[in-house]
A and B are shown apart, each in its own frame.
Chain A
Amino acid sequence: GQNIDQPTEMTATEGAIVQINCTYQTSGFNGLFWYQQHAGEAPTFLSYNVLDGLEEKGRFSSFLSRSKGYSYLLLKELQMKDSASYLCAVPDSNYQLIWGAGTKLIIKP
């Protein structure tokens, strides 16, 4: 079966750095997605990793280790608007996304 684990909630301070982890178990591997979802809004695409390593996109970076079944989302120079839930998802054998429950990130001044 497939399983995705990520912390339920994290708290960080404005201006700081936070790392949100995601571990997954899949029968095959077709990449890993990160989405951001503000309360009451649609999930929006952040990143897609299919190869090992770190991909940087402005203040947000995403890391993947396929051998460890592990990914993280790194957010730098945190802003209050980064308060949101961060969802990790991996495709199944039919390429349909299996989602984690999301990590709610709370930013404090």
Chain B
Amino acid sequence: ETGVTQTPRHLVMGMTNKKSLKCEQHLGHNAMYWYKQSAKKPLELMFVYNFKEQTENNSVPSRFSPECPNSSHLFLHLHTLQPEDSALYLCASSQDGDGGAYTQYFGPGTRLTVL
């Protein structure tokens, strides 16, 4: 496989469930990101990992828990979500250097519905 892959593509869960989203990048990049995309809203950056270390956490509720076991894999663990968390969750990766903006490559996303 090439690029950035995400599983599952669609997920329906109740508010008491626990689930995990998985992202894998096959580009040899050193940075990975989780974004939330809601209808007609800008992409919201949730978490950033650079060389497996979390460098950004944009005031995301604790019901979202990221995990980055290595530079190729990224997880988003979900528990006790709310209906307003229903959205498209996008994973991205980039090859970052010493400062500067770098092109991000996105996965196809997981469409999450919380009942």
**Which residue of chain B has the shortest Cβ distance to A43 in the bound complex?**
B106
**Which residue of chain B has the shortest Cβ distance to A8 in the bound complex?**
B40
Give the dominant DSSP class at A's interface. Answer: loop
Q: Quick check: A95 and B109 within 8 Å, CB to CB?
A: no
B90 CB within 8 Å of chain A: yes
Q: Quick check: A97 and B41 within 8 Å, CB to CB?
A: no
Known: A33-B103, A97-B101. A43 touches B41 (CB 8 A): no
Total number of A-B contacts with CB less than 8 angstroms? 49
Known: A4-B42, A102-B42. A97 touches B106 (CB 8 A): no
Number of interface residues of A (CB under 8 A): 24
Known: A100-B42, A101-B41, A101-B42. A91 touches B101 (CB 8 A): yes
The contact of A44 among B41, B48, B106, by CB within 8 Å, is: B106
B-side residues, CB < 8 A to A, are 4, 40-43, 45, 48, 56, 90, 96, 99-109, 111
